[in-house]
Structure 1
Amino acid sequence: MAGDVAQFLRNKFLASLSETESELSDVVLISDLGAIKDIVIAIDTRRLTGDYYCRFISVLLDLTDALTKCRVFSHKWKKHSHHKTHLVVFNHLGLRKICFVLKMKKRLAAIKRIFEAEFRESSSRPDPEENLKSKLPVLEAEVMGFDEQLRKIRDFLLKSSRSSGAGFSAVGIVGMAGAGKTTLVSEVLSSWMVLGKFSPIIWLCLSNIIKENKQVEEEIVKCMLSNLDHDAVADGDGIIQEEEKTISSKLERLNQHLSGKRYLIVLDDVCHMNDFYSDLGQQIQVQEGDKKVGYRLSHGLPKGSGGAIIVTSRISEVVEAMVVPAEGSDQHYNSLIIPLETLNRETCWDIFKHTVFGYIPDFEYQQHLEKFESEIKDLCYGLPSAARTLAEIMSQNPQNLRRTSPSYLKYEHLPDSFHIKKSPVLVFIDTYYRKRGEELIEKFCDLLTTKQVFGKEAYAYNPEPVLKDVYGTLEKLKQSNCGFASEIQKKMRIIVVGGNDVVNRILGVICDLKLPESPSIAPVPLSYVNEFAASFGWEDISNISPLQSLLVDVARAKSLRTDSWHWLIRMKPGSSLTNRLPRCLHEVGTADNPTFSGRFWYEFSLDVLSAYLTSVAIVKVLNHLGQWEMLHIPGSLNSICCLNLPVFGGKRGHLCVTKNMMEDGKTSFIDDGRLEVIGDERWSSDWALLDQVRGIRFEFIEGAKWPLDIRIDGAFLPTNDLVEIEISYHGQVNILALPDCAAKSIHLSSQSSASQAKAKD
């Protein structure tokens, strides 16, 4: 009978949701309900037994009630909003809707957790401990308005040592509902320095535990144990000794698991006072011969190893009772309390705009919204969650927010996973292959706008006017107090479709303009994979279908800081070859001393066609004292290459990774301020590492007549009148990299090594 009821309720919920999905879209909860729907569909009610039927029925009834409330509220919302502008409706109903959405999101999240934990398709008797496992919440929104609080917490945690304050630290964060407590802690834990120092890290939401369990104290400890070791709470043989059932025995086991470790425990959303988890820094006073711990949570948290705890609550008395030593206590430990006040109106407005528009605002619509700026600020009530929820409601009401501009309609053709309005994009296309180039321009314009896509042949292309115009417009908008202008500059991404020389040209202009925020570049080959693109994982555009997938990759790609190299060319006075130099060079000398400068990011190569390298040039490198010294060049070498990126084409055009050339534990990084200098003999295909240098100089021997082949990022350099070429480090640029690409950052590598070393400890 119970099985029939469960099946009936399950089918009723699915049918009701299917009927009302379209009308619920305005309540911004359809995605939450959809996630639960997928889980419910996967549950085989025939495999539920005994008490699980009753539990399943109870949760389904709760879910059906929540769905009904959503439908009723959606109906009321539409009734009030009919024939009115969205801001009039918000003035009338705004706060009520924000509160409803926030509360319902929490309710649906709790229902989803129960379904996931207790009713798994793979087992008729799910593991009761699964619902105890806590995961760190995902930081979905950019933290705004809490820079000072974030800095204080990070500094406090990182500066606390094993020997200071009894080797234990406690942080308390106090703020009203929606003030951003959980978001702030999530941002703290996203820091690689915090992740590298503390292990294990456990996150518990106490309000959920208290709501779902009567034996709160025991459930808290079981949650912690389940995070540390499943065997710590599992009873494999079905026999548990009586003494192991007590809270004291569980605390003793917790103490053993955490002993000697720099743990970090987050107790989020603590709503009630409880002696069990008060004064968390208290050390147990163990009587001689007594190895047992006490009965309070603090007794399960060993001191002296640098552990820490973070508590968040709406009630200041609760936080003080948990993280501040009790009055009259002779025990001392480091504690910090961070009060979260409501945000100022301007910050709330920034959060609202950031959420609605992302990083490519519709300026016409923004001007419309700014007419109601004061009213929107009032509706945020100083709460970041209210600002985001209000923006989410407005952005998901198509009848209220539908824009008629062509650019807005373009965005709708992109996949949902790529929010182009949050990733400003410019596209530069080399149209050397005219038909192919024109096709690409048309396709990109269909996906973006004509004002975002530019194309010309590489040899005649000058991107400087375009970038000057774009960034000049952004500067004007900033001067007009448009908050989005600086955000656009910060998040700008540029797709460069072409070869190494085209990428070099774009990067050179970016560096010359000295932009306040350097955009990130995605180097995409036009017809075949080149070394620059391959280093960062980009395929040639002919292999990318559909083209939307490229935009998705660009939006998701990680920006890596990449070294820039400056090269200085000195030529003989009166040289007739100056007009044949690459367009990316700048004249910095005089007619009597012709000197040119430029930059490169991939490679400088020199190949002596009919002799050895030592008969043509003297090669010097910059040592750690800043002095030039001779580089030992084997007499049989006729080719030398200075590489900044890890993928190398070699003489035969076969791409290889320079790490295969590394010896003695040396590693190639793109941001360590060093070039890999490699050499090769004419008839050999094996390049050898000569050195890793911070600067290199080629002094050409006067009178040497051997023909040379010199290239810089693929561009040929005339060689007859060369006197000297000097290469030195000159800052960094941002290059977009796909996952698992060959390019490696020394900073990310050091973070990974630190985390691995910490894990071994």
Structure 2
Amino acid sequence: MDDKSEEVLQDFRIPDYILVPGSKVKTASHIPSCPVIAFINTKSGGQLGGELLITYCSLLSKNQVFDLGKNSPDKVLHQLYATLEVLKSTGDVLAGEVQKKLRIIVAGGDGTAGWLLGVISDLKLPKPPPVATVPLGTGNNLPFSFGWGKKNPGTDRQSVLSFLNQVKIAKEMKMDSWHMIMRMKTPKQGACDPIAPLELPHSLHAFHRVSVTDKLNMEGCHTFRGGFWNYFSMGMDAQVSYAFHSERKSHPEKFKNQLVNQTTYLKLASTQGWFCPSLHHPSSRNMAQLTKVKIMRKHGKWEDLNIPHSIRSIVCLNLPSFSGGLNPWGNPNQRKSAYRDLTPPYVDDGLLEIVGFRNAWHGLVLLSSKGHGTRLAQTNRVRFEFHKGAADHTFMRMDGEPWKQPLPVDDDTVVVEISPSSQVTMLATPLCQSKSIHDPSSPRIYQDNYDSSSEEECGEDWEERRKFGAADTFKIPDGVEISHLS
């Protein structure tokens, strides 16, 4: 490595005495302008994750690069911030600068990135470190939304050095996160998969802390809660995703690169009937027949949302990227926006965009510059109620992780409710697709769509949510194999 490259890398390196507890404190000759910690899922991207780990270790200190298959990010970050606080208390200037300027790099799929974002939320720091995402998954919606691309990156030294330089100059941008709660009874019969912790997304975990006044707080009822950063969807798109993940789980050797994964996904979409749903998908399983949808535009006031009978898939979007870079919401023109009270899809306005799709052909209109799905609503909170009907199950998906959801077979009700959680700080490049409501250069129709009163406590319902916190919402439980993440 030439002297110039070595000099550049000094801006990213953190001295070992900060990274390794108990090390002898040394006087630093250089204060890094962009200290980084890198977390890499070596199971992502076929062999790319492992190659990327080797390259990062060769460029940075090996103590600031972590293999997520061997190191728990919550333990790493807790230890780092504890060490920084101790050193700062002794007057260590470098420790203070590292804490102030620290940036996080996470390499993996959207599931891996969501895991890290949840861990950072769990720290509840006054100034959480911003995060840059390396696209190593199949869809890579998070990296694409903030300008880091959707194709798997190069793993050579020059490619990694170029990425580090982008991290150094990237701007910070806030992003909303969303809390989801699901209540259901354990099905006594039916052909559904058993509901076990590993059959649900890693970000959706069982818990038992429901209020005593909760109507579903009864024997035989399970309550789940979790969260997402990108999207929650249900219907045919989730069904195709479930088939893909099931196939990948059964034959992991067939899914070694991004192109093969995407090709397999398209084949499954065809075999699942997503392109010809009228032949393979009975109308009794359309969304309007399966669920009753309520939205909350203003705090405390639920209203029914009409779902067209032809809609077979509903997507609740937080970011302007779905299925590998498509934007289902699009950009409503000013006339329609004023008539329907719609805005562009900001990532920090406390609003979800709810979009419907009839079939895969409907989804293909997103490939055109002005294409979009059926815009159903923008809302601060949404509630889905499933009652006994023609179907005994449906499919759901959250940030790329699908599951098969049993539906009521008697007079029971399955309830899914989504509400605002918190915000994290992302790093964005000039190619960023996401828009901020606080950025003067972002297009906007109305200034204040987010009702801040929704953050106020509101009786038992809000008090229950407040107890959850952001921590366990996104935490990967012990014993979960990292390869199950995208």
User: Normalization by structure 1: what TM-score?
Assistant: 0.42
Aligned length: 346
CA distance in 1 between partners of 2:207 and 2:56 (Å):
38
- Specify the SS of the correspondent of 2:32: helix
Matched, 1:714 2:400: yes
CA distance in 1 between partners of 2:39 and 2:120 (Å):
13
Written as runs of structure 1 = structure 2, the 5 A alignment for 1:204-283 is: none
Aligned to 1:214: none
Gaps of 5+ in 1: 1-355, 370-394, 396-400, 402-407, 409-419, 754-761
Written as runs of structure 1 = structure 2, the 5 A alignment for 1:565-604 is: 565-573=178-186, 576-579=194-197, 580-589=199-208, 592-604=220-232
* Maintained 8 Å contact 1:637/1:679: yes
AA in 2 matched with 1:728 = S
Give the drift of 1:632.
1.3
Aligned to 2:140: 530
Aligned to 2:437: 746
- Specify the SS of the correspondent of 2:433: coil
Change (3 A) 1:750 1:440: closer
- Specify the SS of the correspondent of 1:741: coil
Change (3 A) 1:751 1:620: closer
CA distance in 2 between partners of 1:744 and 1:505 (Å):
23
CA distance in 1 between partners of 2:306 and 2:144 (Å):
31
Give the drift of 1:422.
1.6
Give the drift of 1:721.
5.4
AA in 2 matched with 1:605 = S
Give the drift of 1:562.
0.7
Give the drift of 1:468.
2.1
* Maintained 8 Å contact 2:176/2:420: yes
**Deviation per residue, 1:671-704 (Å, 9 max, x gap):** 1111111111025234121111111111112345
Residue 734 (structure 1) aligned to one of 425, 434, 458? 425
Matched, 1:519 2:147: no
- Specify the SS of the correspondent of 1:746: coil
Change (3 A) 1:625 1:435: closer
* Maintained 8 Å contact 1:668/1:744: yes
AA in 1 matched with 2:185 = K
Give the drift of 1:585.
2.8
- Specify the SS of the correspondent of 2:50: helix
* Maintained 8 Å contact 1:536/1:742: yes
Give the drift of 1:523.
1.4
Give the drift of 1:535.
0.8
More relative contact order, 1 or 2 (CA 8 Å, 6+ apart): 2
Aligned to 1:319: none
Change (3 A) 1:487 1:727: farther
* Maintained 8 Å contact 2:175/2:426: yes
Aligned to 1:656: 326
Change (3 A) 1:702 1:469: farther
Change (3 A) 1:596 1:487: farther
CA distance in 2 between partners of 1:558 and 1:729 (Å):
24
After alignment, is 716-725 or 613-622 more displaced? 716-725
* Larger helix fraction of residues: 1
* Maintained 8 Å contact 1:359/1:488: no
AA in 2 matched with 1:677 = I
Aligned to 1:681: 358
Give the drift of 1:633.
0.8
Matched, 1:672 2:285: no
Give the drift of 1:477.
2.5
* Maintained 8 Å contact 2:171/2:429: yes
Aligned to 2:312: 638
Matched, 1:614 2:327: no
- Specify the SS of the correspondent of 2:345: coil
Change (3 A) 1:359 1:585: same
Aligned to 1:493: 103
Change (3 A) 1:704 1:490: farther
AA in 2 matched with 1:662 = P
Aligned to 1:441: 53
**Deviation per residue, 1:134-166 (Å, 9 max, x gap):** xxxxxxxxxxxxxxxxxxxxxxxxxxxxxxxxx
Aligned to 1:454: 66
- Specify the SS of the correspondent of 2:416: strand
Written as runs of structure 1 = structure 2, the 5 A alignment for 1:118-267 is: none
Change (3 A) 1:449 1:553: same
* Maintained 8 Å contact 1:577/1:721: no
Matched, 1:475 2:85: yes
* Larger strand fraction of residues: 2
CA distance in 2 between partners of 1:638 and 1:362 (Å):
54
Change (3 A) 1:475 1:717: farther
Give the drift of 1:480.
3.6
CA distance in 2 between partners of 1:368 and 1:521 (Å):
28
Give the drift of 1:442.
0.9
Change (3 A) 1:607 1:574: closer
Give the drift of 1:495.
1.1
Change (3 A) 1:358 1:661: closer
- Specify the SS of the correspondent of 1:647: coil
Written as runs of structure 1 = structure 2, the 5 A alignment for 1:501-512 is: 501-512=111-122
Aligned to 1:431: 42
* Maintained 8 Å contact 2:176/2:349: yes
Matched, 1:702 2:388: yes
Change (3 A) 1:495 1:555: same
AA in 2 matched with 1:673 = G
CA distance in 2 between partners of 1:551 and 1:730 (Å):
30
- Specify the SS of the correspondent of 1:614: helix
Give the drift of 1:479.
3.8
Written as runs of structure 1 = structure 2, the 5 A alignment for 1:363-382 is: 369=27
* Maintained 8 Å contact 1:679/1:688: yes
Give the drift of 1:705.
2.0
* Maintained 8 Å contact 1:572/1:594: yes
- Specify the SS of the correspondent of 2:347: coil
**Deviation per residue, 1:342-397 (Å, 9 max, x gap):** xxxxxxxxxxxxxx99994675999565xxxxxxxxxxxxxxxxxxxxxxxxx9xx
CA distance in 1 between partners of 2:313 and 2:137 (Å):
28
Change (3 A) 1:440 1:711: same
**Deviation per residue, 1:455-498 (Å, 9 max, x gap):** 245xx984222222222322332344434444433322111111
Give the drift of 1:592.
4.4
- Specify the SS of the correspondent of 1:672: coil
User: Normalization by structure 2: what TM-score?
Assistant: 0.64
Change (3 A) 1:574 1:679: closer
Gaps of 5+ in 2: 1-9, 189-193, 210-218, 240-280, 338-342, 366-372, 409-413, 445-486
* Maintained 8 Å contact 2:328/2:355: no
* Maintained 8 Å contact 1:359/1:422: no
AA in 2 matched with 1:671 = D
Considering only aligned residues, what root-mean-square deviation do their CA atoms show, in Å?
3.2
**Deviation per residue, 1:579-598 (Å, 9 max, x gap):** 22222234332674422222
- Specify the SS of the correspondent of 1:648: coil
